[in-house]
């Protein structure tokens, strides 16, 4: 699989050569006859990580880019999309192309600056979505790891209290209580009470 990026250069940003040198450090190589660069990746997740690194490398350099995974924005070498085709693709990713079209006809300089603002907003949105995705995956992994430690602790002779299970698993008391309650309901764990102290042990 490959990750692709099509560069759109402006007079205010880095030169095409400078931008290409930045991306070459990330493993991107220009497809001959196009403004598109490609990098080999293991899978879609790796491609998204690669594009996130690309975003960081281009931040603040005045270069507009169009990323894609699996298929380049320019399908054939030598193909140069006209601006209506380019703007149609921009519309697909959520840019207000009606506003941009009006600016392109009336104020080209404002068109460039406004276009950059819109692309930055979209890039930030993608980055934020990725951060949420990563945090969710990390939280799921933490919970699964904690559950495994909890199940191991429940096999200890004499059982464990909720507070002790929370300490061992690294999970909060409420999460542990819900997990233990489910295990009791499915008869994988039994509760034993001694005075005011309640312990839980695997069956």
Tell me the domains of the chain and their CATH numbers: 2-80 (3.30.70), 154-202 (1.10.10.10)
- The widest CA-to-CA distance across the chain, in whole angstroms, is 82
pLDDT for the residue numbered 85: 76
Average pLDDT of span 22-31: 91
Nearest one of 193, 131, 187 to 161, comparing CA atoms = 193
Local confidence band at 167 (pLDDT 50, 70, 90 cut-offs)? very high
Average pLDDT of span 57-75: 78
- Per-residue pLDDT tens over the stretch 178-202: 999 999 999 899 998 888 888 999 8
State the chain's mean pLDDT as an integer: 86
The pLDDT of residue 150 is above 80: yes
The model carries a pTM of: 0.46
pLDDT for the residue numbered 35: 82
Average pLDDT of span 146-169: 89
Distance in angstroms (rounded) separating the CA atoms of residues 28 and 31: 9
pLDDT for the residue numbered 77: 47
């Amino acid at each position: 699989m490959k990750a692709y990026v099509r560069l759109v250069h402006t007079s205010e940003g880095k030169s095409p050569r400078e931008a290409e040198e930045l991306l070459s450090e990330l493993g991107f190589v220009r497809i001959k006859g196009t403004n598109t660069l490609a990098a080999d990746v293991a899978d879609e997740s790796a491609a998204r990580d690669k594009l996130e690194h690309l975003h960081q490398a281009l931040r603040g350099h005045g270069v507009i880019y169009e990323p894609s995974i699996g298929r380049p924005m320019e399908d054939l070498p030598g193909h140069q999309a006209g601006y209506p085709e380019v703007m149609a693709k921009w519309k697909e990713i959520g840019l207000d192309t009606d506003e941009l079209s009006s600016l392109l006809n009336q104020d080209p300089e404002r068109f460039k600056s406004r276009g950059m603002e819109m692309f930055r907003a979209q890039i930030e949105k993608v980055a934020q979505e990725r951060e949420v995705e990563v945090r969710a995956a990390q939280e799921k992994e933490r919970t699964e790891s904690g559950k495994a430690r909890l199940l191991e602790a429940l096999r200890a002779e004499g059982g464990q209290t909720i507070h002790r299970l929370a300490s061992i698993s690294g999970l909060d008391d409420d999460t542990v209580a819900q997990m233990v309650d489910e295990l009791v309901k499915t008869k994988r764990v039994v509760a034993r009470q001694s005075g005011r102290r309640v312990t839980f042990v695997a069956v």
